[in-house]
């Protein structure tokens, strides 16, 4: 293991730092060497990218806090307009320098003001001859702001002529950031993903004190065996490990197995974890529900998840309107005559059955249809006479507000609007069952 070294900081601090950031030694030592000594200049901007929970924010924060470097840490999602962002940086900067006791709100509307106020803020004795770090977390949000914000942050060192380094943290690669007129290129640093060994090491680190480390490590091993294919997100895995551990210990608590009985323990936990992937991992069942279920020894999965509650109670005509919309969306126009006209004349069966499109409509998604076609299908599938009252039309628009239908082009509200049906097949089948309508018989894809 490479030990961190740096001429300025005491070895104890560096050792402490190393223990705080497992499996990130090379990145930390790289950053340390780039940062250099306090009064030395560093890169104007550093762009750090890597996967979700690869420790970008954590490493940066621990590094800056442990070494007590003057820094400003801002999340760009939280401060989502340029004004909020700039004002937050300035107010944190005021806290950095203890000379100015009163922290007043500084209005700062443009980047021009920011540069001016920034120079004033760093003029204090402590900040003058030290590198100041401005860390912008979730930097992809900067692209949504005004066009000059990102290029200006990248060359802040030149614009302010102060010893400042801007660090951008993002999940997205630098190529997708570059403005089309070009900008000052930052130094890019990659935080690699944790390998399975790293994940094992980090996850086994905080094992519960009442069990041995080996016991917990074996549990983590099984957990990774189930989830590693799907999920490499450390946070998610940590969460899952915390949730399911009590179930794993169950045989030991009840005395059916001892800590060495790996096979028995594995047999106990594996189906449980598979179930967890379909429920807790997708947030179908909330974590607290899952924990309660484990306490009561209930069968996992007996609980209805969020997606099971898709049943919506609708009025009679709304149901038929929705069914008609679904048929209009997923059937081609030329088949309408065959499906919905009672006396449609002779159609050569072979020709009709031969499908022209290779891919079915359920693969391509719903097609838009005009209002007239929807009404024609509605009249044909409802047995008794339907009067085109205002009620029917208002039900169509209310289905749009419920997001069961959607209006395709917004340019014409009254004359000839076109709609799309945005519900799933399962949903519409459930609806059709309640009104005794066999929808499969009418769908071209299932002929």
Partner 1 sequence: MSKRKSKENSGTNGECISQVQKILRERFCRRYATGKLFGIEHQHRHLLELLKRTAVHGESNSALIIGPRGSGKTALLNHVLKELTEMKQVRGNLLEVHLNGLLQTNDKVALKEITRQLHLENVVGDKVFGSFAENLAFLLEALRKGDRTSSCPVLFILDEFDLFVHHKNQTLLYNLFDISQSAQTPVTVIGLTCRQNRFTFLRRYKPVVLYYRRRAIFIHVAGLYYTVVRSLERPVGISVSWSAVGPADFPDESFAQKWNNNVQCLSEDKTVQDVLQNLFHRTKDLRSLHLLLMLAVSNVTVHHPLITASDLHEASKHYRMDSKANIVHGLSVLEICLIIAMKHLNDVYEGEPFNFQMVYNEFQKFIQRKAHCMYNFEKPVVMKAFEHLLQLELVKPIERPSVRTQREYLLMRLLLDNNQIMDALQAYPNCPTDVKQWAASSLSWL
Q: Which of residues 14-43 bind partner 1 (CB under 8 A)?
A: 33-34, 36-37, 39-43
Closest CA relative to residue 189, chosen from 83, 288, 47: 47
Q: Confirm if 132 and 164 have CB atoms less than 8 A apart.
A: yes
How many residues at the interface with partner 1, by CB under 8 A?
Answer: 72
User: Rounded to the nearest whole angstrom, what is the least distance from the CB of residue 194 to partner 1 in the complex?
Assistant: 8
In this structure, what are the phi and psi dihedrals at residue 175, rounded to the nearest 5 degrees? -60, -30
**Nearest residue (CB) to partner 1, 159 versus 269:** 159
In terms of CB distance, is 34 or 213 closer to partner 1?
A: 34
Candidate residues 157, 244, 318, 331; the one interacting with partner 1 per rule CB under 8 A = 157
Report in angstroms how near the CB of residue 151 gets to partner 1 at its nearest.
6
- How many Cβ atoms sit within 10 Å of the Cβ of residue 63? 21
Among residue numbers 46 through 75, which ones bind partner 1 (CB under 8 A)?
Answer: 49-52, 54
Site for partner 1 (CB under 8 A): which residue of 406, 429, 435, 445? 406
Nearer to partner 1, 142 or 159 (CB): 159
Is residue 307 part of the contact set for partner 1 (CB under 8 A)? yes
Question: Site residues for partner 1, window 199-258 (CB under 8 A)?
Answer: 228-232
CB of 338 to partner 1, least distance (A): 25
Site map for partner 1, 105-144, x if CB under 8 A?
Answer: -----xxx--xx----------------------------
User: Which has the closest alpha carbon to 218: 162, 168, 176, 262?
Assistant: 262
Does 151 help bind partner 1 (rule: CB under 8 A)?
yes
Single out the segment in contact with partner 1 by CB under 8 A; choices: 175-183, 296-304, 315-323, 373-381: 175-183
Q: Which of 165, 174, 153 is nearest to 50 (CA)?
A: 174
Q: Which of 1, 10, 105, 182 binds partner 1 (CB under 8 A)?
A: 182
Q: Which is nearer to partner 1, 249 or 421 (CB)?
A: 421
Name which position in 1, 19, 125, 176 contacts partner 1 (CB under 8 A): 176
Interface with partner 1, residue 9, by CB under 8 A: no
Among 106, 243, 407, 430, binds partner 1 (CB under 8 A): 407
Between residues 85 and 381, which has the closer beta carbon with respect to partner 1? 85
For residues 170 and 207, which CB has a smaller minimum distance to partner 1 in the complex? 170
Task: Scan residues 78-107 and list those touching partner 1 (CB under 8 A).
Answer: none
Quick one: which segment of 61-69, 120-128, 177-185, 199-207 binds partner 1 (CB under 8 A)? 177-185
Which positions from 314 through 373 interact with partner 1, judged by CB under 8 A? 359, 362-366
């Amino acid at each position: 293991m490479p030990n961190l070294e740096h001429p300025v900081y005491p070895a104890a601090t560096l050792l402490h730092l190393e223990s705080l950031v497992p499996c990130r030694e090379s990145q930390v030592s790289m950053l340390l060497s780039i940062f250099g000594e306090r009064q030395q200049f560093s890169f104007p901007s550093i762009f750090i990218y890597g996967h979700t929970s690869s420790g970008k924010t954590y490493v940066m924060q621990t590094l800056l806090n442990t070494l007590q470097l003057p820094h400003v840490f801002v999340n760009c999602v939280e401060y989502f307009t340029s004004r909020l962002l700039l004002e937050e940086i300035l107010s944190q900067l005021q806290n950095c320098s203890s000379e100015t006791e009163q922290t007043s709100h500084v209005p700062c509307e443009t980047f021009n003001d920011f540069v001016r106020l920034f120079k004033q803020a760093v003029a204090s004795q402590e900040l003058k001859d030290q590198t100041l770090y401005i860390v912008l977390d979730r930097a992809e949000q900067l692209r949504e702001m005004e066009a000059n914000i990102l290029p200006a942050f990248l060359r802040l060192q030149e614009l302010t002529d102060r010893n400042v380094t801007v660090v951008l943290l993002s999940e997205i690669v630098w190529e997708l950031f570059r403005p089309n007129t070009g900008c000052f290129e930052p130094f890019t640093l990659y935080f690699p993903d944790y390998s399975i060994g790293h994940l094992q090491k980090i996850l086994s680190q905080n094992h519960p004190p009442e069990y041995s480390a080996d016991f917990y490590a074996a549990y983590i091993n099984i957990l990774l065996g189930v989830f590693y294919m799907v999920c490499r997100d450390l946070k998610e895995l940590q969460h899952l490990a915390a949730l399911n551990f009590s179930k794993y210990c169950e045989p030991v608590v009840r005395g059916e197995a001892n800590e060495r009985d790996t096979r028995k323990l594995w047999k106990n936990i594996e189906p449980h974890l598979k179930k967890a992937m379909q429920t807790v991992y997708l947030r179908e069942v909330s974590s607290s529900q899952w924990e309660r279920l484990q306490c009561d020894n209930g069968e996992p999965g007996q609980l209805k998840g969020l997606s099971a509650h898709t049943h919506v109670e609708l009025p009679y005509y709304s149901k038929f309107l929705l069914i008609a919309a679904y048929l209009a969306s997923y059937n081609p126009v030329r088949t309408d005559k065959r499906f919905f006209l009672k006396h449609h004349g002779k159609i050569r069966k072979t020709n009709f059955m031969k499908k022209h499109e290779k891919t079915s409509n359920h693969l391509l998604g719903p097609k838009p249809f005009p209002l007239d076609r929807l009404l024609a299908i509605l009249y044909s599938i409802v047995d008794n006479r339907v009067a085109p009252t205002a009620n029917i039309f208002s039900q169509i628009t209310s289905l749009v507000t419920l997001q069961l239908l959607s209006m395709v082009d917004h340019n014409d509200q009254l004359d000839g609007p076109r709609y799309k049906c945005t519900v799933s097949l399962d949903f519409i089948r459930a609806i059709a069952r309640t009104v005794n309508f066999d929808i499969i018989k009418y769908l071209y894809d299932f002929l």
